[in-house]
Amino acid sequence: MASVTLDRINKVFGNTHIIKDVDLAIGAGEFVVFVGPSGCGKSTLLRLIAGLESISDGELTIGDQVVNELPPRERGVGMVFQSYALYPHMTVYENMAFGLKLAKTAKETVHERVMSTARILQLGELLERKPKALSGGQRQRVAMGRAMAREPRILLFDEPLSNLDASLRVQMRNEIARLHKRLGSTMIYVTHDQVEAMTLADKIVVLNGGRVEQVGTPQELYQRPATRFVAGFIGSPTMNFLPARLLGADAEGCRVDAAGLAELALPQDASGHAQGDGLTLGIRPEHLRLTAAQGSEGFEIVNVEYLGNEVYVYLEPKQGDTLLIQRSEAPSPWSIGQRVALDPDPEHVHLFDADDRALPAKAARAAA
Amino acid sequence: MSSPVTESAPMPARPLPVRYRSTKVRRQRVRAAWYFLAPMLVTLTMVAGWPLLRTLYFSFTDASLSDMGDTLFIGLENYLVYDDGRWFGVLADPVWWRAVWNTAYFSVVSVSLEVMFGVIVALVLNAEFKGRTLVRAAVLIPWAIPTIVSAQMWAWMLNDQFGIINHLLMTFGIIESPIAWTADASYSMWAVIMVDVWKATPFVALLVLAALQMLPKDCYEAAEVDGIHPVRVFFKVTLPLITPALMVAVIFRLLDALRVFDVIYVLTSNSTSTMSMSIYARQQLVEFQDVGYGSAASTLLFLIIALATVAYLYLGRKQLQLGGE
Ligand SMILES: Nc1ncnc2c1ncn2[C@@H]1O[C@H](COP(=O)(O)OP(=O)(O)OP(=O)(O)O)[C@@H](O)[C@H]1O
Ligand SMILES: [Mg+2]
């Protein structure tokens, strides 16, 4: 168990700048998840921490030691690879024991450690098997066991569940969460699956194009996304975005006019912006309320998806072609072809400026 | 027709019911396989089977190179015969046994060295460095040169009076007087082995390099994170994983080495101290004009190579099974 601190970390491959000025503080025993779209540098950042890539600029601290120049083995990290990286010619037991033997650990200790790890991960019956005789989930557990058996200060996971099917993923997700509670070690976990991120993390780091977009608890990211990117990335189905115009700012907040909606009074502080400025209004599918529209006003319902416990209603605006999504509990009174007006709840409306940064809510500031 | 299906399906250890083995699809596949194999089998019969049978036939006759038409069947006399209180035939000829020993010695030593150097060269070529494509191509040159040419080249370099090797060694004061590398019995075998190693190492290196490039890269990263010493990684991970490729390289080289002819013939001609089985057979056949006797030697050579191959494949499979499953 150890803390990890990244101070203005940069990574350049050739002449492509992949990781840009990443600052991050990870507490001892924390479960931190890196999320972001494919190619944003999640794996690279993880490999920088592991020591598999060299840091171009910045300072990486583990515990209270600067580890920039330390080889992986001296950093006290264990890593679970996306492809598992099991040694194909060794049995499960040998795979787990291989990394232990070198540390001049006594034979009995090696055996004990392997056996207790195997017990935790329920690998008992598989110890004599070769990796190719294991299912995906079993291989995944062996890969975790191999990393854990060394009792590293920090466990790194690079998309460990991405090769598994949906139900196994849910099961393994739970096992990893339980494991973290039980071991209490610092864990850094890379995924592009936001459900994994939301369910596992103490703290989520959203990466985009090599930069940190936002760091926070799952609730913070969901309820107060700092940028439009985070707002769109977290949450499924994704947040609806509408072009809007600032009508005026006042002590309570601001008034905006969004395409297809009635004028809205919102609690956001728009004091830095001029009247008439273009903004983006964001609202989550579950925060949209639909009311019957008069005449040809509002939105047309183009599709209704029934999912059993809930219903997604797809709305087509008069101009533009991005559909809006409304989510509600089943059953829904709406059907295809009806025209509806939107009645957003001002408490749950997000506003983003031209630079895609969220406008802070006045109420939230007062409450803080 | 109903119950055994569920019983036997999950247990491949038990022999499957007959109807699983000869389904229609399976019969079709077997037939297709024969169609594809047929041209190859016919060609092999013509270019390998026929000469082999002819050689076998001649080995039981007293055929001579000058008169191939008028031959007598003499049974095993070319191999071994007791006559007048003495043994005659190939198997009683000390020169033949010397040739067998020379060939075995040459094969074992040169193939071992080639495998060792081949692995080292492959590891170097597998590393990332500038201009490695060029180096990879350059390393292949010895293998690309015809053996006759490279052997002749080495013969000149090793020449006791004008050779550059003696010249260099004397210039640096390592030796005082020129050494007759190819004529002196105490050096000639090593000269031959060195030239063969020089030539065949690239071949082994290339096979091993191909295997190295197939290795799972992430396993090495896992080993790096776990802090396992590179030497240990080589012996515990790399070596077991390239063993199949090494076995292929060894069998190729071994077959080549057991019938070695050109290197030795160019470098040392018929000298007994380096004579291989092939050279012995050629000498009997061509120089002494004794086709029957030479054929007997060739047949024995064939038998020895076949035996070595079978033994090697058998041991190899056994070892793979022990290590693999
Ligand atoms: N060794 C390398 N040399 C050059 N560019 C690289 C190297 N490794 C990664 N990159 C680039 O860095 C960027 C980030 O890669 P990275 O593997 O970190 O993405 P990721 O966020 O893990 O994506 P994914 O979700 O698809 O795994 C990519 O554009 C990739 O092409
Ligand atoms: Mg990745």
Mean pLDDT of all residues in A173-178: 90
Residue ranges of E strands in A55-138: 57-62, 65-66, 77-80
CATH 3.40.50.2300 applies to domain A238-367: no
Q: Which range (A52-61, B78-87, B137-146) has the least confidence?
A: B78-87
Counting from 1 in the atom list of ligand 1, the atom nearest the Cα of A159 is: 27
Name the fold adopted by B93-289.
MetI-like fold (1.10.3720)
For residue B249, pLDDT over 70 is answered with yes
Q: Which residues contact A112 (CB under 8 A, 6 or more apart)?
A: none
Tokens of A162: 């991405």
Residue ranges of E strands in chain A: 4-13, 16-26, 31-35, 57-62, 65-66, 77-80, 154-158, 186-190, 203-208, 211-216, 240-249, 254-258, 264-266, 278-283, 290-292, 299-306, 310-316, 324-329, 339-342, 349-352
**Dihedral through CA B257, CA B259, CA B265, CA B267, nearest 10?**
0
Give me the amino acid identity at A307.
Answer: L
Shortest CA gap B146–chain A (Å): 39
Mean pLDDT of all residues in A244-256: 88
Q: Give the strands of the sheet with A339-342, arranged side by side.
A: A290-292, A339-342, A299-306, A310-316, A324-329
Question: If you average pLDDT over every residue of chain A, what do you get?
Answer: 89
- ω into residue A331 within 30 of 0, thus cis? yes
Tokens of A89: 């010619």
Instruction: Tell me the domain boundaries of chain B.
Output: 93-289
Q: Which residues line ligand 1 (CB under 6 A)?
A: A 13, 16, 18, 36, 38-44, 192
pLDDT value, residue B185: 86
Instruction: Kindly report the CATH number that applies to the domain delimited by A4-232.
Output: 3.40.50.300
Shortest CA gap B313–chain A (Å): 21
Highest mean pLDDT among A147-151, A158-162, B39-43: B39-43
pLDDT value, residue B296: 94
* Residue carrying the six token digits 């490279």: B150
Give me the amino acid identity at B93.
Answer: D
Protein residue closest via CA to atom 1 of ligand 1: A13
For residue A300, pLDDT over 60 is answered with yes
Mean pLDDT of all residues in A302-308: 93
Counting from 1 in the atom list of ligand 1, the atom nearest the Cα of A47 is: 18
Measured between CB atoms, which of A83, A87, A102 is closest to B227?
A102
Alpha-carbon distance of A119 to A37, in angstroms, equals 36
For residue A82, pLDDT over 90 is answered with no
Tokens of B88: 């005659």
A16 in the Ramachandran plot: left (φ > 0), alpha (ψ -120 to 50) or beta?
beta
If you count residue pairs, one on A and one on B, with CB atoms under 8 Å apart, how many are there?
Answer: 62
B325 close to A (CB below 8 A)? yes
- Considering the entire predicted model, what is its pTM? 0.78
Alpha-carbon distance of A195 to A234, in angstroms, equals 9
Residue of B nearest to A75 (CA): B225
Sign of the CA dihedral A292, A295, A296, A298? negative
Mean pLDDT of all residues in B236-250: 92
Report the DSSP beta bridge partners of residue A326.
A313
Alpha-carbon distance of B302 to B277, in angstroms, equals 10
pLDDT value, residue A271: 84
Protein residue closest via CA to atom 3 of ligand 1: A13
Alpha-carbon distance of A287 to A277, in angstroms, equals 25
Instruction: Tell me the domain boundaries of chain A.
Output: 4-232, 238-367
